[in-house]
Structure 1
Amino acid sequence: MATGAVGVPHLNITVNEEDVEKGAARILEAIRPQWEKDSIRFKLLTDGMTNKLVGCKPEEAEESETVLVRIYGNKTDLLIDRKAEIRNIILLNNAGLAPNLYATFENGLAYRFIPGCTLDEKTVRDPNIYRLVAKRMAKLHKVRVEGEVKKKPYLWEKVQRFLDLVPEEFSDSEKKRKNRPSHRYHETVIPKSRIAEEIREIRDILENVDNPIVFAHNDLLLGNVIYTESDNSVTFIDYEYAIYNYQAYDIGNHFAEFVGFGLEMDYTKYPEKELQLDWLKTYLTEYHDRLPTEEEVKKIVSPSQCLRLDDSHLLGCLGSDPGRTLLH
């Protein structure tokens, strides 16, 4: 066992994605040697392309003792800076905003389990819970990275990295079949050149929007927000994409999550004007450590809606009155 980032142990272990329980057991031998091997129970929590996540604890132990072992997906390092992710977890844990990191290993990390439930389309609209989310986001946005002098939005660099990995076309016939347009909104393949052009157009619009650059989560989907009822708190998880970005990016992204995902999106569930205003006032009160002025609320409304990336809202960003048409 070696010492990794800021004293966090690093294990020279590579976990096989096809046998995560065996790999997780090896991790636990190093960080929880007191646990009886035969008593440990494993539960696969996520099995996606980006990560595999397994919860581990002795059968009779409290849920709060659970250790989470996350195995990185194959080639995800092309999209995600894993060193930066570890730095983020340590930075935010020191600020009381992220769970303890127990160890890193060759293709993953082990960290503390936060008991609770991920948000869903109902809980995200609960006034008590959405105000907790707003406050938590404001605290995150006030975090400062030591030694960071020039702050710039990382959005465009990340989008470009994704685009660079997109092939002009698939040579493999099976991949062509799987990626053939099937959604009712997309009957033809959109050329990569057109995507690049649209990104440039959006960038031109957003770079003219007045919005502070803050340390942002950048992936606040509902599954990355944990509500713990016992102490009435929320915790953000998965800091793979956390870095400096537009303040309004996290807000606009989170509001967009109200409508669902994929083919199940229901735009009637987008937060109504009253909810947005209450959410934003709660956020700004925490962010400024005082009640916001009406002008400060209006000033954050426009960029938050612009970063929703709905055509009508992007056009609204070019208008002179930021609060005139953007809340609905």
Structure 2
Amino acid sequence: MNICEEHINITIDEDKIIYGAIEIIKRIRPSWPLQELHFKPFTDGKTNKLVGVWYSEHYTDMVLIRIYGNNSDLLIDRKNELNNIRILNKAGYTHSIYATFNNGFAYQFLEGDTLTIETIRDPKVYPLIAKRMAEMHSLEPENELESKKAFIWEKTKKFMQIMPKRFSDPLKQAKFEMLISPYTVLEKEYHLMEQTLPKINSPVVYAHNDLLLGNVLYNQEQENVVFIDYEYTAFNYQAFDIANHFAEFAGIDEPDYSLYPDENFQKAWLKEYLQKYNESNNVSEEEINKLYWQVTKFAPLPHFFWGCWSLIQSEHSHIDFDFLE
């Protein structure tokens, strides 16, 4: 359904999402009978709140309404996020936006199941992810975006500047001291990575940067995958995007790092990726080994990046999740 995107001057209260969603639906789906609306809250997200709205039997016409998390603009450039969605929708890779409002946007529902720790390594599924990532990395968006420079260093530096150095809550503070290295140590680790990782010469590509289980939809019937949530999409190192995805094999609520993909699996995944990225079925062992080495070297950086992110969330988010843990 191709509907012209509009901006609606409404701010939805996080505690009155259904009421706010109805106001949005009145504007973008005026023919929908309000008494027949159905609502489905989604709980996968760790930054925003999300509700699906549809009426009667028209489940496939569901409109998703996302309300930005409290103070999440500290973490995310919302203008860039919307721009990325428009670019990727135009390329045929993701949903369309129906409308924006003051603290969120309404967009198209895409059918598919979010991945689990089992399906992410399914031989029918993982090649689709590898190929889709390679396609995205091959995109050359128009000059609407920032220069082709890896965003990760400036973004991580910003996170480190705004993340709490101590907590007013004494219980949080005690846990913080027990779990997190002193800031001076973190700063040294950041500078070590900033000095060494660029020397690995991983190409800078148009990257998703946040391919966790919940951000990949698998449609079994159509045998395809779609990426969603482009909050951190930007030019970045190819090896970062892949390493970040591999880290997500462990899951999010109770991460199990024994599920981190072993060398054989990674190389099988990277072969699928390189065949698409190079547009050639003749990918050499040498190419696979080189990319495997680059990804392995980059593996610590996503952990560091999302660690900083978690500290910020632990101070500001209203979502019920132990970000400090």
The answer to whether TM tops 0.5 is yes
2:272 maps to 1:282: yes
2:66 maps to 1:70: yes
Aligned counterparts of 2:146 and 2:14: Cα–Cα separation in 1: 39
- Aligned-residue CA RMSD (Å): 1.8
What's the counterpart of residue 248 of structure 1?
239
Partner AA of 2:172 in structure 1: K
Aligned counterparts of 2:187 and 2:162: Cα–Cα separation in 1: 12
Contact 2:213 2:251 in 1 (8 A): no
| Bigger relative CO (Cα 8 Å, ≥ 6 apart) | 2
**Distance of aligned partners of 1:42 and 1:223 in 2 relative to their CA distance in 1, 3 Å threshold:** same
Deviation at 1:169, TM superposition (A): 2.0
Aligned counterparts of 2:73 and 2:179: Cα–Cα separation in 1: 30
User: Structure 2, unaligned stretches of length 5 or more?
Assistant: 302-325
After superposition, residues 109-258 of structure 1 pair within 5 angstroms as: 109-147=105-143, 150-170=147-167, 172=168, 175-181=169-175, 187=178, 189-258=180-249
Partner AA of 2:115 in structure 1: L
Deviation at 1:100, TM superposition (A): 1.0
TM-score by length of structure 2 reads: 0.87
Contact 2:11 2:103 in 1 (8 A): yes
Deviation at 1:49, TM superposition (A): 5.7
Contact 2:209 2:240 in 1 (8 A): yes
Deviation at 1:151, TM superposition (A): 1.2
**Distance of aligned partners of 1:49 and 1:135 in 2 relative to their CA distance in 1, 3 Å threshold:** closer
Aligned counterparts of 1:280 and 1:233: Cα–Cα separation in 2: 18
Aligned counterparts of 1:188 and 1:295: Cα–Cα separation in 2: 40
Q: Secondary structure at the match of 1:73?
A: coil
Q: Secondary structure at the match of 2:163?
A: coil
Aligned counterparts of 2:126 and 2:295: Cα–Cα separation in 1: 16
Query: Residues 194-235 of structure 1: CA distance to partner in whole angstroms, max 9, x if unpaired?
Result: 211111111112111111000100101111111111211111
Contact 2:267 2:289 in 1 (8 A): no
**Distance of aligned partners of 1:272 and 1:168 in 2 relative to their CA distance in 1, 3 Å threshold:** closer
How many pairs align?
A: 296
What's the counterpart of residue 269 of structure 1?
259
Aligned counterparts of 2:199 and 2:52: Cα–Cα separation in 1: 45
User: Structure 1, unaligned stretches of length 5 or more?
Assistant: 1-6, 311-328
Contact 2:208 2:241 in 1 (8 A): yes
Deviation at 1:303, TM superposition (A): 1.4
Deviation at 1:188, TM superposition (A): 5.6
What's the counterpart of residue 51 of structure 1?
48
Deviation at 1:126, TM superposition (A): 0.5
Largest Rg, 1 or 2: 1
Aligned counterparts of 2:146 and 2:286: Cα–Cα separation in 1: 29
What's the counterpart of residue 304 of structure 2?
none
TM-score by length of structure 1 reads: 0.86
After superposition, residues 92-111 of structure 1 pair within 5 angstroms as: 92-111=88-107
Aligned counterparts of 1:13 and 1:91: Cα–Cα separation in 2: 25
**Distance of aligned partners of 1:178 and 1:136 in 2 relative to their CA distance in 1, 3 Å threshold:** same
Aligned counterparts of 1:190 and 1:249: Cα–Cα separation in 2: 23
Query: Residues 52-90 of structure 1: CA distance to partner in whole angstroms, max 9, x if unpaired?
Result: 0000000321x2211100000121111100000000000
Greater alpha carbon shift after TM alignment, 97-106 vs 41-50: 41-50
Contact 1:71 1:109 in 2 (8 A): yes
2:317 maps to 1:306: no
